[in-house]
Amino acid sequence: MSNHQHLADCSQEQQSAIAYLRTPAAIRERCDRLFDFACADQLHYFRCNLTKLDQVANYVIEVMRDEYPDLNIPFHSRWRHFEVGNVPRLVELEQQLAGLTPLEKVQTKFDLAMISVLLDAGAGSEWQYHEQETGLVFRRSEGFQ
pLDDT in tens, 54-71: 999 999 999 999 989 999
Q: For 83-112, how does the pLDDT look when each residue is reduced to its tens digit (9 = 90+)? A: 878 888 899 999 999 999 999 999 999 888
Do 66 and 104 fall into the same domain? no
Mean pLDDT of 108-124: 79
Among 73, 102, 133, the domain-final residue is 73
- What contacts 64, CB < 8 A, 6 or more positions away? 71, 73
Structural domain of 47? 1-73
Do 31 and 92 fall into the same domain? no
Do 83 and 54 fall into the same domain? no
pLDDT of residue 6: 60
Most confident segment among 8-12, 56-60, 125-129: 56-60
Residue type, 118: L
How many folded domains does the chain comprise?
A: 2
Do 36 and 95 fall into the same domain? no
Do 1 and 66 fall into the same domain? yes
Percent of the chain whose predicted confidence (pLDDT) is above 90? 44
Do 131 and 90 fall into the same domain? yes
Cβ burial 59-97 (10 Å sphere, 16+ → b, else e): eeeeeeeeeeeeeeeeeeeeeebbebeeeebeeebeeee
Dist. CA 115–CA 104, nearest whole Å: 16
Among 43, 73, 103, the domain-final residue is 73
Among 45, 73, 101, the domain-final residue is 73
Structural contact between residues 102 and 96, judged by C-beta atoms closer than 8 angstroms: no
Do 81 and 60 fall into the same domain? no
Residue 117's nearest CA partner among 82, 88, 86 is: 82
Mean pLDDT of 122-141: 77
